[in-house]
Every structure is written in structure tokens, then in C-alpha cells.
Amino acid sequence: MTVEYLLGNARNDDHINMIVQWFKNGVISNTKGELLDKVEISKKHKHTMMERIWSSLKIELKEKEALLAELEKIDPEGDWLSNTKRFCEAAHPANKEKFWKFYFSQDAKDLEEIEKWGLYDY
């Protein structure tokens, strides 16, 4: 079983809470709290963890922002951070309506902004 599989199959609050602990501790454990010592968490895994965390309906925005700030300390530059921040902003449940309206806006200013976007911005 890979880290990608574990992260991709996190579907409920208990799973997301485990991911938060993995992110904070820098190690992966099973449901009994036993460390999986042969599993390494890469920077890319941490970005994927952040995406799962920001998709949560239960985690407070303040905690999500603090965790994102920790990720920024770990990986301060590059496309991964920029892409993860964009994903997080769009994935936060409170922003769903805002982005839905923005994507389908006919306002000239919005259309001009969307024209500047690249593939990863969507």
C-alpha cells in the first residue's frame, strides 16, 4: 500500500484527522497508532495531504491556514506551493459558490483574469 493510495482513499472525518496527524508528526501510523516505519513522506505527499485537509468540512479555517503556513516553511518556493494554495482556496467549502460563479462569470474583469490562467490554475 502506498502513501498515495492512503491519501486518495481518505473519505471521512476520521481519515482526514489521521492525515492532519501524519502531516504534523511527519510520519504515518495505522489506526492503532503504530508507526509505519518503512513509509517515507515526501514534500509532494505533504502537498497532497494539504489538499485533503482543505477539502474537509469539519476542520476550522484557522487550523487549515496554520497547516498551510507550516507547508510553506517546508517547501517555500516553486510551482507545488502555488498550485496547492490555489487548490486549497478553491477546495475550502465556504468558497465553492464564489468559485462556481467566477468560473461562469460573463463580467469582463473576470474573463480577463481567467484568460491569464494556465492549466494548473483551473
pLDDT per residue as tens digits for the range 54-96: 989 889 999 999 999 999 999 988 789 988 998 898 888 888 8
Q: What is the 3-state secondary structure (H, E, C) of the chain?
A: CCHHHHHHCCCCHHHHHHHHHHHHHCCCECCCCCECCCCCCCHHHHHHHHHHHHCCCCCCHHHHHHHHHHHHHHCCCCHHHHHHHHHHHHHCHHHHHHHHHHHCCCCHHHHHHHHHCCHHHC
Between residues 44 and 107, the one the model is more confident about:
44
pLDDT per residue as tens digits for the range 32-42: 878 887 778 88
